[in-house]
Amino acid sequence: MDKEFVPYPFALRLKQIGFDEPCLAWYPTHEVLLFMGMKLGSTKLDFVTQNSPWIQSEKTKTCIAPTFSAAFEWFREKYMLYHSIDPLGYNMCLGLVGELGKLTSCNVPHYGTYEEAELACLEKLLEIVETLKIKD
């Protein structure tokens, strides 16, 4: 199940650019992925955010662990950055909806596995937003 979650280095970078959506897991250290769950007698899942008591200050290396799906959704909603990964050729395409609603795509090389393409796509989205943050 760990493969559904963004690896620690990416999760930490997401934290640094403001990702704080409710998640089902978190990284107390770079080596461990802990899952939230259901409290005894409860019918709803517990979620964790960057503000949860056990997620410490910005200076620590503790952070929430989004799924790839949650991370990609956040990029779409917050920055209008879209992605697509071809499941047959393992190449990816990124798009940014401009002022006129046009999609500008950026194709990149093929990757050996779908997971490699997914990580490369997340890396590129992080680079784009980190560059925007530096300019702010």
| 32-42 per-position pLDDT tens digit | 787 765 444 44
Asked whether residue 30 is assigned to any structural domain, the reply reads: yes
Question: In angstroms, rounded to a whole number, what is the distance separating the alpha carbons of residues 53 and 12?
Answer: 17
> Looking at the structure, do residues 63 and 9 belong to the same domain, yes or no?
yes
> Looking at the structure, do residues 2 and 48 belong to the same domain, yes or no?
yes
The domain total for the chain is 2
Quick check: helix, strand or coil at residue 105?
A: strand
Domain that holds residue 106: 80-136
* Other residues' Cβ atoms within 10 Å of the Cβ of residue 96: 14
Asked whether residue 104 is assigned to any structural domain, the reply reads: yes
Lowest mean pLDDT among 8-17, 68-77, 105-114: 105-114
> Looking at the structure, do residues 3 and 62 belong to the same domain, yes or no?
yes
What confidence category does residue 11 fall into, taking pLDDT thresholds of 50, 70 and 90?
very high
> Looking at the structure, do residues 91 and 58 belong to the same domain, yes or no?
no
Query: Is the pLDDT at 122 greater than 60, yes or no?
Result: yes
Q: Give the CA count within 13 Å in the CB-facing half-sphere of 125.
A: 32
What confidence category does residue 5 fall into, taking pLDDT thresholds of 50, 70 and 90?
very high
> pLDDT tens, 49-108?
666 655 655 556 788 899 999 999 999 999 888 888 877 777 777 766 654 455 555 556
Asked whether residue 75 is assigned to any structural domain, the reply reads: no
Which residues are registered as beta bridge partners of 63? 27
Per-residue pLDDT, averaged over 106-120, amounts to 78
Question: In angstroms, rounded to a whole number, what is the distance separating the alpha carbons of residues 77 and 98?
Answer: 14
> Looking at the structure, do residues 23 and 62 belong to the same domain, yes or no?
yes
What confidence category does residue 12 fall into, taking pLDDT thresholds of 50, 70 and 90?
very high
Q: What is the DSSP string of 66-101?
A: -BHHHHHHHHHHHH-EEEEE-TTT--EEEEEE-TTS
Asked whether residue 39 is assigned to any structural domain, the reply reads: yes
Are 69 and 97 in contact by the 8 Å Cβ rule? The answer is no
Per-residue pLDDT, averaged over 110-131, amounts to 87
- pLDDT of amino acid 112: 83
> Looking at the structure, do residues 2 and 62 belong to the same domain, yes or no?
yes
> Looking at the structure, do residues 9 and 55 belong to the same domain, yes or no?
yes
- Identify which of 37, 39, 59 has the alpha carbon closest to the alpha carbon of residue 48: 37
Q: What is the DSSP string of 13-53?
A: HHHHTT----BSEEEEETTEEEE--B-TT-SSB--B-TTST
